Structure 1
Amino acid sequence: MEATRPGPARRATAPRRTAHSVFLAVRSFYLDLSQWSMEDPARWAAWAAPCPISEADIRGYIKETRHRQARMQQRTRTLVPVLPQLVRAAEARLQRATLLQAARSAKPGEEFSVEGSQYRRTGRDGSHWRPTALFLAPVGEPGPRFDAECEENNAFWTWASIEVLRRTGARIEELLELTHLSLRQYQAPTGETVPLLQISPSKTDRERVIPADPDLVAVLARIIRRIKGTGERVPLLTRYDGYERFGPPLPHLFQCPCQHRLQVISANRIRDFLTELRAGIADVDGTPLRFTPHDFRRIFSTETVNGGLPLHIAAKLLGHLDLNTTQAYVAVYPEEVMRHYRQFADQRRTHRPSEEYREPSDTEWQDFRDHFSLRKVALGTCDRPYGIPCQHENACVRCPMLRLDLAQEPRLLEIEANTRQRLGEAQRMQWLGEVAGLHESLRHIADKKQQVERLRAQAGHGEAGVGALG
């Protein structure tokens, strides 16, 4: 017996990957009838019949589950290397959408130039011209006209969706349920204010809180500034949910004008944003790669665990009830997953051998508080989680967990000059191993300089710090 589904026109049917779930549903129904007929023969005995689905038909369920998990992990391994390319494409599209400002100052029929490209605003003067439509047509280049305002709106929310999804690992439903009320603050014992993002209960009905790094804070601040507009508060909107129907009016973050009124963005529209983003990403065989909202959740879990975060903490951040679920999301080799988990288990047995839920001792509490103080380094702050040792031997310039302080930019430039001086000496002396290592250091220094420029731009737009979320 083989379950099939309708296929393309070139073939009548195609194998159904979820065939075993159909078999299990049918088999469970017949077995329930048999059980009910024994408990209440007068009512159910007439309906009891031999089950058409045998044990041999469902024997491959576990095998198919493993194949599905392998396909999911292979997809994650394929998408992780090209994620930076998708992010750059979204940022480039958002930057190109700046021609909206020039389009608003132009009159219908007038031509203007933006970054070397010539455009003409189409439309007519008079009562029949719609002032809300900002249609532009390229001049001297083939291409249809487009709505500059719609293009800018789609470019912004495509970029915002990608940034929030990849930095939080939230489900698509959780993303659309984010409100201005989801942004909270935590006062650390050291006096440092830590921004938190509160994720509403969705699939597992469990609420969770995610610490927001400065990059995520900047993205959320930019979203809040956009939807506030000239007002002082985020507009209150009701959101339609397929399961919960219409919810109460809330200050949703993902809201934008649609059909001449404000609406909460739907999940299908987020998927359309990702599909319409022309990133030019393809696999090694030329097959175009397409991102879905849930791909960012798998990538988030993979990168956090590969970065040294224990599996049980990653499960808390993702809202999983079972570590096996998180392990299935992580696209790494099984021995690496087990190594991280065994390190956590061994450390936990060493520090908490007898009482699992006892009160922390003064020494343990002091170590926890000192961790946040010891994160201060010469170039900024180390963002590694609590309980994780430094894996880069204090080579902070190469460490991705380093959060640079803008005031320490001269020190970074001094390190760069010293590195280039050592590189010249190593090249003269033919120290090839030293040359390779110094080139790697210069590459990381260039990344840190880009981080400084990004942080300076965020500070200039008022998108840095906890105060930007107000």
Structure 2
Amino acid sequence: MLRRTGARIEEMLELTHLSLRQYQAPTGDTVPLLQISPSKTDHERVIPADPDLVAVLARIIRRIRGSDGRVPLLQRYDFHERCFGPPLPHLFQRVSLGRLAVISPTYFNQLFKKLAARAALIDVDGSLITFSAHDFRRVFATETVNSGLPIHIAAKLLGHLDLNTTQGYVAVYPEEVIRHYRAFIDQGRARRPRDEYREPTDAEWAEFRDHFQLRKVALGTCDRPYGTPCHHEHACIRCPMLRLDLAQVPRLLQIETNTRERLDEAHRMHWLGEVAALEESLRHIDVKKQQAERLRQQTQHDESGPTAFG
């Protein structure tokens, strides 16, 4: 959850079943959304949920549901306000002292320490590497910005009011590299229109939210980063960014059959250049078939699609 949302620890622990929303796009597709309640900046925000995040949320919901199929209502203790909140279907709950309770930040940090010890990752000086919930927020910021997402959109997703805060979350490199790279950025920024470094308009935010609707292809959806062109000349079979639609598996199998027929012909005609290319295509088709099997298993466990949040 932290890795896929960039949420603060208190924001994540406050999530409830009611935080999950669905947006009906103009194309008719249903887009899952995660609503983050106001916390540090007292600003509510909404995050589009990618398929991996949907699968995580679906597993959480399935795990905490009671025998009646509902998420139990629990009161969460607010350590800042020093009071209990109203009964809500909190997502992060566990059995504590024989009864259900919302996971506390203290217990969460204990889990992190156990995970670090189990992973046994060693730093260059031989010490055990530890990590905090906020580290995942920095990873989220770094990867979204490095993948081409405009920094003012990333700031919106993270709930930052100041772009400099978002910049500070991007991965830390040696001081000399930072100094030279910042000088390069400042030079480039001086040549760019000033309105690029501002709060996104409603239209820009809507464009970001809906941009993946333009990624629809015959076999599924293209998951390339926001604002980037297709570098594979729309050869979707070979592209790792293709997220296969299970409904299109018969089409994939037909493409495989046609490719094998063409490969047989190429062998007969001694078109060795075609043979190599077709064999490479078959290898990528096999990867897509394995992906389809993983997606099918997720679907069987209600971990994908618009019903995952139900």
Q: TM-score, normalised by structure 1?
A: 0.51
In structure 1, the residue matched to 2:167 is: 327
Matches for 1:218-257 after TM superposition, within 5 Å = 218-245=55-82, 246-257=84-95
Shift, 1:385, TM fit: 5.9
The 1:347–1:217 alpha-carbon spacing in structure 2 relative to 1, beyond 3 Å, is: farther
Which sections of structure 2, spanning at least 5 residues, go unmatched?
Answer: 268-272
2:149–2:226 CA contact under 8 A, matched in 1: no
State how far apart, in whole Å, the 2-side matches of 1:248 and 1:344 are: 52
Matches for 1:111-130 after TM superposition, within 5 Å = none
State how far apart, in whole Å, the 2-side matches of 1:416 and 1:316 are: 46
Residue identity (%): 66
1:316 aligns with 2:156: yes
In structure 2, the residue matched to 1:196 is: 33
State how far apart, in whole Å, the 1-side matches of 2:296 and 2:63 are: 20
State how far apart, in whole Å, the 2-side matches of 1:344 and 1:228 are: 55
In structure 2, the residue matched to 1:306 is: 146
Give 3-state SS (helix, strand or coil) of 1:459's partner: helix
Amino acid aligned to 1:273? L
In structure 2, the residue matched to 1:167 is: 4
The 1:449–1:311 alpha-carbon spacing in structure 2 relative to 1, beyond 3 Å, is: farther
1:214 aligns with 2:54: no
Give 3-state SS (helix, strand or coil) of 2:308's partner: helix
Give 3-state SS (helix, strand or coil) of 2:307's partner: helix
Shift, 1:286, TM fit: 4.4
State how far apart, in whole Å, the 1-side matches of 2:119 and 2:160 are: 32
Once the two structures are superposed, residues 20-58 of structure 1 have per-residue CA deviations (whole angstroms, 9 ceiling, x without a partner) of xxxxxxxxxxxxxxxxxxxxxxxxxxxxxxxxxxxxxxx
Give 3-state SS (helix, strand or coil) of 1:328's partner: helix
Kindly report the root-mean-square deviation, in angstroms, between the aligned alpha carbons of the 2 structures: 4.0
User: Greater Rg, structure 1 or structure 2?
Assistant: 1
Amino acid aligned to 2:42? D
Amino acid aligned to 2:49? A
Give 3-state SS (helix, strand or coil) of 2:113's partner: helix
Which sections of structure 1, spanning at least 5 residues, go unmatched?
Answer: 1-163, 350-355, 426-430
The 1:314–1:204 alpha-carbon spacing in structure 2 relative to 1, beyond 3 Å, is: same
Give 3-state SS (helix, strand or coil) of 1:276's partner: helix
Shift, 1:231, TM fit: 1.6
Once the two structures are superposed, residues 309-338 of structure 1 have per-residue CA deviations (whole angstroms, 9 ceiling, x without a partner) of 111111111111111111111117654893
The 1:469–1:319 alpha-carbon spacing in structure 2 relative to 1, beyond 3 Å, is: same
Shift, 1:374, TM fit: 3.4
Matches for 1:60-459 after TM superposition, within 5 Å = 164-245=1-82, 246-277=84-115, 278-283=118-123, 286-331=126-171, 335=181, 338=185, 342=189, 373-384=213-224, 387-396=227-236, 399=239, 401-409=241-249, 448-459=288-299
Q: TM-score, normalised by structure 2?
A: 0.75
In structure 2, the residue matched to 1:469 is: 309
State how far apart, in whole Å, the 2-side matches of 1:344 and 1:401 are: 33
Once the two structures are superposed, residues 326-354 of structure 1 have per-residue CA deviations (whole angstroms, 9 ceiling, x without a partner) of 11111176548939x859955967xxxxx
Amino acid aligned to 1:293? A
State how far apart, in whole Å, the 2-side matches of 1:167 and 1:463 are: 15
Shift, 1:283, TM fit: 3.7
